[in-house]
Amino acid sequence: MSNQDFPVVQGRTLIEALILCLLAITVGLCLNFTTVYNAFTGRLVVAGEVAKDIAPADTVPDGTIASPALDPFPVPLEEIDDLLAEGALLIDARSAEDFIAGHLAGAISLPLGQAEQMLSDFSTSVSLDSPLILYCSGYGCPDSHKVGILLIQKGYTDVLVYEGGYPEWRDAGRPIVGGTE
């Protein structure tokens, strides 16, 4: 059986495959430079898209006009420690099951699916001027923004979203705890 029947990988084919890969990777990184740069610097903002998603006709459920002020402001990982030292409260917007499986140490659970029902209890125990930091499952996850918008509508004045969320926190080696503590 000859190489004609079962051709092996030739050096030239390998080099061309590598060039092809490098070319495509370069194009992809150039076209998405801002997204990748923002991911590395913790500045990826999806807030505007989420506001459109939650308020499709430029209005929110209570009839007011959606505005940039309605969107929680994003906060990077590097600023979280200072905010926590100043008394900020971490809020996990993921499902209760995800929260029990593992969450940021010190966080409380306010899942998007139950947020509206839980908000009255929440507002009696947390004052409206408390700084709040919401998170969910990382960049592109809208739940923290949506819960943040609900909190702003409820009257909370200092609502932030940590967009890197659980996966970035975990990958940074920050403390994760399980259960409901």
Partner 1 sequence: MNRFKSVAYHVSRLSLAAIFIYAGVIKATDVVAFAGQVANYQLLPYAWNFVVAAALPYVEILCGLLLLLNRKVRPSLLVLLFLNSVFIVALASVMMRGFDIDCGCFNPDSNTSTPPIAAIMRDFVFVLLILTGWFFKPASVGNESD
What residues line the site for partner 1 (CB under 8 A)?
4-7, 9-10, 12-14, 16-17, 19-21, 23-25, 27-29, 31-32, 35-36, 39-40, 44, 46, 137-141, 164, 167-168, 171
Residue 72 DSSP one-character state: P
- Min dist CB 174 to partner 1, Å, is 12
- Min dist CB 81 to partner 1, Å, is 18
Handedness of CA 50, 91, 176, 73 (dihedral sign): positive
Between 111 and 142, CB nearer to partner 1? 142
Please report, for the chain, how many H helices and E strands are present, in that order: 8, 7
Question: Residue 137 CB: number of other CB atoms within 10 A?
Answer: 17
- Min dist CB 28 to partner 1, Å, is 4
- Min dist CB 88 to partner 1, Å, is 21
Between 82 and 171, CB nearer to partner 1? 171
Between 145 and 156, CB nearer to partner 1? 145
8 Å CB contact between 60 and 66: yes
**Contact partners, residue 157, CB within 8 Å, separation at least 6:** 128, 129
